Amino acid sequence: MISRPFKLLLATANFGKVHEMRAVLEALPIELLDLRHLALHLDVREDGLTYAENAAKKALAYAQASGLATLADDSGLEVDALNGEPGIYSARYSNLPNATDADRRAFLLARLEGKPRPWLARFRCVLALALPNQALAFFEGVCEGEIIPTERGQGGFGYDPIFLLPSLNLTMAELSTEQKNALSHRGRALRSLIPYLTRLLSE
């Protein structure tokens, strides 16, 4: 059963992601909750071999714990010159313990040093929506671009300051929230989710 009014839990502790999700989904007649509202934190091991597996693990765990429809994502950066790395390990891609986003960007650029440019890359996002009855649905978005060696921009998070959108000559970190949600992997995945949510609401 789906609770009325429709409540959707955004199951991520990355509140940059929460902000982006809210910006895309806020026009829907649903109540968006995040982990701060429920004071809920689970230690879900992201040991899947794909984005979909990791997203599903998080969505199902939080749906079971909260009793709510739950949206979780797994996303990553895939760099062609590194054979698709860091991929599903993007959030843990570093040679340092307790690495920051800046540490991970520096580690990535060190791995790319000496490799011919352009360093073609893409961001990929897979969303998993888990309903309280354990039903699962997946939605994917991809954004193509390239890695640049010098950080640009103050917005975004993660690898955004070194991910260039060549058609705009802007990094993800130089985009407005509206621009980023229109072009990003997560924005595209969220927009593909909207028709599914709309159909659920009408049933």
Q: Which of 74, 101, 103, 160 is catalytic?
A: 74
To the query of whether residue 103 is one of the catalytic residues in this protein, the response is no
Strands 136-147 and 170-171, sheet pairing = unpaired
Write a three-state SS string for 56-93: HHHHHHHHHHHCCEEEEEEEEEEEHHHCCCEHHHHHHC
Per the CB < 8 A criterion, the answer to whether 28 and 99 are in contact is no
Per the CB < 8 A criterion, the answer to whether 8 and 30 are in contact is yes
Residue at token pair 């049933």: 203
Give catalytic residues, as residue numbers. 74
